[in-house]
Amino acid sequence: MHLEKRDYDAVIVGSGPNGLAAAILMQQKGLSVLLIEGKSTIGGGLRSARLTLSGYMHDICSAVHPLAIASPFFQTLPLSAHGLEYIYPEVAAAHPFDNGTAAILKGSVEETAGLLGADENAYVKLIKPVVKDWPAIAPDILGPLHYPKHPLAMARFGLPALTSAAHLVKRFETPEARGLFAGMAAHAIQPLSNLATSAIALVLMANGHLKGWPIPKGGSNQIANALASYFLSIGGKIETNTQITSLQQLPYAHAVLFDVTPRQLLKIAGHRFSSIYKWQLERYRYGMGVFKIDWALDAQIPFKAAGCHKAGTIHIGNTFEEITDGEKQIWQGKHSEKPYVLLAQPSIFDPTRAPEGKHTAWAYCHVPNGSKKDMAAIIENQVERFAPGFKDTILARHKMNTAQMEHYNPNYIGGDINGGVIDLGQLFTRPVLRWSPYKTSAKGIYICSSSTPPGGGVHGMCGYHAARRALKDSFGITD
Ligand X SMILES: Cc1cc2nc3c(=O)[nH]c(=O)nc-3n(C[C@H](O)[C@H](O)[C@H](O)COP(=O)(O)OP(=O)(O)OC[C@H]3O[C@@H](n4cnc5c(N)ncnc54)[C@H](O)[C@@H]3O)c2cc1C
Measured between alpha carbons, how far is 455 from 9 in angstroms, rounded to an integer? 26
Nearer to ligand X, 123 or 362 (CB): 362
Shortest spacing between CB 424 and ligand X, in angstroms: 19
Q: Would you count residue 144 as binding ligand X (CB under 6 A)? A: no
Longest pairwise C-alpha distance within the chain: 69
Q: Would you count residue 345 as binding ligand X (CB under 6 A)? A: no
Shortest spacing between CB 245 and ligand X, in angstroms: 7
Shortest spacing between CB 2 and ligand X, in angstroms: 31
Site string for ligand X, 459-478 (x = CB under 6 A): ---x----------------
Nearest Cα to 394, choosing from 292, 327, 299, 307? 299
Q: Would you count residue 143 as binding ligand X (CB under 6 A)? A: no
Site string for ligand X, 17-46 (x = CB under 6 A): xxx----------------xxxx----xx-
Nearer to ligand X, 154 or 417 (CB): 417
Q: Would you count residue 198 as binding ligand X (CB under 6 A)? A: no
Nearer to ligand X, 129 or 410 (CB): 410
Are residues 451 and 437 in contact, defined by beta-carbon separation less than 8 angstroms?
no
Single-letter code of the amino acid located at 344? A
Nearest Cα to 187, choosing from 165, 210, 172, 156? 165
Shortest spacing between CB 5 and ligand X, in angstroms: 25
Residues in region 74-113 near ligand X by CB under 6 A: none
Candidates 23, 63, 103, 470: give the one binding ligand X (CB under 6 A).
63
Q: Residue 371: left (phi > 0), alpha (psi -120 to 50), or beta?
A: beta
Measured between alpha carbons, how far is 322 from 342 in angstroms, rounded to an integer? 14
Q: Would you count residue 64 as binding ligand X (CB under 6 A)? A: yes
Candidates 14, 312, 326, 346: give the one binding ligand X (CB under 6 A).
14
Shortest spacing between CB 64 and ligand X, in angstroms: 4
Shortest spacing between CB 456 and ligand X, in angstroms: 4
Are residues 348 and 359 in contact, defined by beta-carbon separation less than 8 angstroms?
yes
Residues in region 285-324 near ligand X by CB under 6 A: 290, 292
Q: What is the dihedral sign for C-alpha 250, 251, 252, 256?
A: negative
Are residues 207 and 134 in contact, defined by beta-carbon separation less than 8 angstroms?
yes
Which helix (H) or strand (E) is 291 found in, with range? strand 289-297
The verdict on whether omega for the bond into residue 454 sits within 30 degrees of 0, i.e. cis, is yes
Stretch that binds ligand X, among 95-103, 137-145, 353-361, 417-425 (CB under 6 A): 417-425
Measured between alpha carbons, how far is 43 from 62 in angstroms, rounded to an integer? 11
The verdict on whether omega for the bond into residue 437 sits within 30 degrees of 0, i.e. cis, is no
Residues in region 204-263 near ligand X by CB under 6 A: 243-244, 259-260
Angle at 100 between CA 99 and CA 105, to 5 degrees: 110
Shortest spacing between CB 22 and ligand X, in angstroms: 9
Stretch that binds ligand X, among 326-334, 390-398, 436-444, 455-463 (CB under 6 A): 455-463
Which helix (H) or strand (E) is 394 found in, with range? strand 394-400
Shortest spacing between CB 92 and ligand X, in angstroms: 12
Candidates 450, 466, 468, 471: give the one binding ligand X (CB under 6 A).
450
Burial class, 425, CB count within 10 angstroms (exposed 0-12 / middle 13-18 / buried 19+): middle
The residues that touch ligand X, with contacts defined as CB under 6 A, are 13-19, 36-39, 44-45, 61-65, 67, 243-244, 259-260, 264, 290, 292, 364, 409-412, 417-419, 449-450, 456-458, 462
